[in-house]
Amino acid sequence: MGLTDDITARSRGLGVLDGLPLADARSLADRVSEALLPRIRRDAQGEIAALRAAGLHVMLVSASIDLIVSRLAGELAVDGHLASKLAVRDDRCRAAFTGEVLEGPHKWSALRRYADARFGPRNWRLAAAYGDSPSDIPLLERADRAIAVNAKPGLARAATRRGWHQVVWQ
């Protein structure tokens, strides 16, 4: 049996949150983050540290829910994060996102808006980008250095064709 695709998983996750008080969703996000932290690859943590030591502004950009990504970003000591924003109305979560889901070209557009606002239009460059999914290609193709990490088959094929660096992180 295969893994659930991203869209189905996202819909199921949003369904669980629908109607949940925001305080309960935050508590759930804390528990999910705590469970995910030990699973973050050591190589990823080392790469973040090396990028920051090199003076780069390191961002975590994810299609996942902002309640979880914000906690992971804090634990990873990155400079900032962008994630899909969960819709909340009357202090209750809704089974929807506000704005775009940060996947595919939306990751790049969100990062570009962030960097333009922070550093000034055309006053920055995407030094490196990391991805594991074919939906990361629009972001990776704009980076000075694109790295396919534990790449899913579609991204691995694209990385091979484009000469991008491919790594398997432990």
Domain boundaries, the chain: 6-124
What pLDDT does 21 receive? 93
Instruction: State how far the Cα of 145 lies from the Cα of 139, in Å rounded to an integer.
Output: 11
What pLDDT does 170 receive? 80
Instruction: State how far the Cα of 14 lies from the Cα of 94, in Å rounded to an integer.
Output: 7
Q: Is 167 helix (H, G, I), strand (E, B) or coil?
A: strand
Instruction: State how far the Cα of 41 lies from the Cα of 71, in Å rounded to an integer.
Output: 16
For residues 61 and 82, is the Cβ–Cβ distance under 8 A? Answer: yes
DSSP state of 61: E
* Higher-confidence position of 45 and 9: 45
What the block records as the tokens of 17 is: 């949150």
- Round the average pLDDT of the chain to a whole number and report it: 90
| N-term to C-term CA, the chain | 24
Question: Could you give phi then psi for residue 132, rounded to 5 degrees?
Answer: -125, -5
The conformational region for residue 4 under phi > 0 = left, psi -120 to 50 = alpha, else beta, is: beta
What pLDDT does 168 receive? 93
Say what the pTM is.
Answer: 0.87
Lowest mean pLDDT among 2-16, 49-63, 98-112, 150-164: 2-16
The distance of Cα 121 from the centroid of its chain, to the nearest Å, equals: 23
What pLDDT does 5 receive? 53
Topology, domain 6-124: Rossmann fold (3.40.50)
